[in-house]
Amino acid sequence: MTNPEIASIFGRIADLMELKRADPFKIRSYRAASELIGELSTPLADMAAKGGAAELRKLPGVGEAISKKIIDILETETTKVYEDLRAEVPETVLDLLRIDGIGMKTLEILYYQFQIASLDDFRKFVAGGGLLSVPRLGEKTRARIQRSLERMSSEFRL
């Protein structure tokens, strides 16, 4: 796996943990690992081949837990914590973060209050006027969300 692919997994772990309202320190750790890995010029696979988890721990902010997860991902293309989170929360819910105007707080409301778990669910929700019932969404934000959905739909058709 490439560094960007591994960084993406760590970023998704952080997002899923944040959606589940997990320990903020763990979330920060996974997010920091995602950013670090995404910026590395040396492939993690090369570092792991050179010295295993001990070599990976030489990276700033990478401790024993993160280094073991990197090794897992390099060997199996996943890690237990990621699979456990995906079993608890549909990963498709994170696709809503691609919509301009939706951040983690709004995503939490959509998922927990309205059981929106995918872009298709959200499109149906919006088409039925559901945005009006979402707390703290002003008119400008609702319009921004609508425009973003329209852009995504037109890009998908191309």
What is the rounded CA–CA span in Å between residue 89 and residue 12? 11
Same domain, 67 and 13: yes
Same domain, 98 and 60: no
Same domain, 53 and 126: no
Same domain, 74 and 144: no
Same domain, 11 and 79: yes
Q: DSSP labels for 67-124?
A: HHHHHHHHHHSS-HHHHHHHHHS-GGGGGGGGSTT--HHHHHHHHHHH---SHHHHHH
Same domain, 42 and 116: no
Same domain, 73 and 107: no
Tell me, what CATH number does 59's domain have? 1.10.150.110
**pTM confidence score:** 0.86
Tell me, what CATH number does 97's domain have? 1.10.150.20
What is the rounded CA–CA span in Å between residue 67 and residue 128? 46
pLDDT digits (tens, 9 = 90+) for 59-114: 998 999 999 999 999 999 999 999 999 999 998 999 999 999 999 999 999 999 99
Same domain, 64 and 141: no
> What does the block give as tokens for 6?
């591994």
> Domain range holding 35?
3-88
On whether the CB atoms of residues 123 and 38 are closer than 8 A, the answer is: no
pLDDT digits (tens, 9 = 90+) for 3-62: 999 999 999 999 999 999 999 999 999 999 999 999 999 999 999 999 999 999 999 989
